Amino acid sequence: MNATMRAVVCESWRPFDELELTRVSVPPLRHPEDVRIEVRHAGVSWATTLVVAGKYQRKPPLPFSPGTEVTGIVLEVGPQVSGLVPGDRVCAVADFGAYAEQAVIHRRHVFKVPDGLPLDAAIALPISYMTAYGALLWRAKIKAGDRVLIHGAAGAVGLGAVDIAQAHGCEVFAVVRGEEKRRFLARRGVDHVIDSTTADFQAVAREATGGRGVDVILDTVGGSVFERSLRCLDEDGRLLVVGFVGGDIATVATNLILLKNIAVAGFNLGQYVGWGVVDERARFAARYGQGMEQLLAWWCEGRIAPVLHARRPLAEFRDAMRLVTDRQAVGRVLLDL
């Protein structure tokens, strides 16, 4: 008889709350470089609601278990896997399949978590921190002294961006919603924390910079925030588009780009992960791996500090997602398996 496991399953494109927790067959290793992981924690991400609704750019084959971030213990490795053995503590990024008791993931996407680092908080690194890392370092090329404004700074990617910008000696402007989030960021030593429910980020940035504006903006929101951010950049500034949690996709005022000599760039982490064994985008995977190793090293050195907001058992996956979609979370929400 085939072994089975608990998993949240998406049978057809549907709202997240209509997913079901059931038992499915344990997935086999399909490639000699695959790694089987006993999932201890899975990350809860707003983007997953788009995936299960069939509205994301990548559509897993139905039926599937959603979820893209895993931490756990290596159970089995394929014959061509090196550097990992059963019993290793790891974090990993998956195309899908994280909301299950076991996940099978290609070796290039699995990273050993050093002893002394908490396995649960490592859930923040493979996607949230790596998105911030790639946008700020590969696209914006931040340096010490840069003035960096981060929208959604209390969210998963936003907190990663705050940590990375601070670690590089940047002057950080963190935009959040609500007094609780403002206090949290202030306690982390952020230079300027802006509660968008009571203050205008453009006005604060303009006053703090003597009217010049900021050098870099990371936009996770989109819509009118993007349009106003263009006007908040100093000359030669860079605006990074990494998400649209506000729901609206803005159009670009190209006259501002020209007149202010500014740059607008997108950052899609999926292009660097390199899904699948023969996916042509795997040519970027080495760079992704280097970024993960750098983040793990910075964490060991205390230069970054991933934050967990809440955790729920797998059976409460709907409640866990509501914490994210209601924008209650400060940092990551995870599922315990």
pLDDT for position 277 = 47
pTM of the model: 0.94
Token pair listed for 41: 């924690």
Highest mean pLDDT among 121-125, 220-224, 273-277: 121-125
Q: Which domain holds residue 230?
A: 127-270
Residue 47 lies in a domain: yes
Q: Render pLDDT for 105-156 as a digit per residue (tens, 0 to 9).
A: 999 999 999 999 999 999 999 999 999 999 999 999 999 999 999 999 999 9
pLDDT for position 279 = 53
213 pLDDT band (50/70/90 cuts)? very high
Residues 259 and 172 in one domain: yes
Which one, of 102, 91, 79, lies nearest residue 128 by Cα? Answer: 91
Q: CA-to-CA distance for 163 and 181, rounded, in angstroms?
A: 15
Residues 150 and 263 in one domain: yes
Residue 294 lies in a domain: no
Residues 27 and 111 in one domain: yes
Instruction: Name residue 44's beta-bridge partners.
Output: 333
1 pLDDT band (50/70/90 cuts)? very low
| Burial class of residue 116, CB neighbours in 10 A (0-12, 13-18, 19+) | exposed
Residues 210 and 98 in one domain: no
Q: Render pLDDT for 288-325 as a digit per residue (tens, 0 to 9).
A: 999 999 999 999 999 999 999 999 999 999 999 999 99
Residues 212 and 170 in one domain: yes
Please compute the mean of the pLDDT values over residues 236-252 and round it to a whole number: 78
Say yes or no to pLDDT of 247 above 80.
no
Token pair listed for 18: 């209509």
Residue 298 lies in a domain: no
Residue 265 lies in a domain: yes
Domain boundary among 270, 292, 319: 270
Q: Render pLDDT for 11-45 as a digit per residue (tens, 0 to 9).
A: 999 999 999 999 999 999 999 999 999 999 999 99
Residues 143 and 263 in one domain: yes
Q: What is the CATH number of the domain that holds 248?
A: 3.40.50.720
Q: What is the CATH number of the domain that holds 92?
A: 3.90.180.10
Residues 57 and 187 in one domain: no
Q: CA-to-CA distance for 219 and 31, rounded, in angstroms?
A: 37
Residue 140 lies in a domain: yes
Residues 158 and 62 in one domain: no
Say yes or no to pLDDT of 160 above 80.
yes
Residue 285 lies in a domain: no
Residues 102 and 146 in one domain: no
Token pair listed for 14: 């549907």
In total, how many domains does the chain have? 2
Residues 114 and 24 in one domain: yes
Phi-psi region of 331 (alpha: psi -120 to 50; beta: other; left: phi over 0): left
Domain boundary among 270, 299, 317: 270
Residue 165 lies in a domain: yes
Q: Render pLDDT for 46-94 as a digit per residue (tens, 0 to 9).
A: 999 999 999 988 899 999 999 999 999 999 999 999 999 999 999 999 9
Residue 193 lies in a domain: yes
Residues 74 and 193 in one domain: no
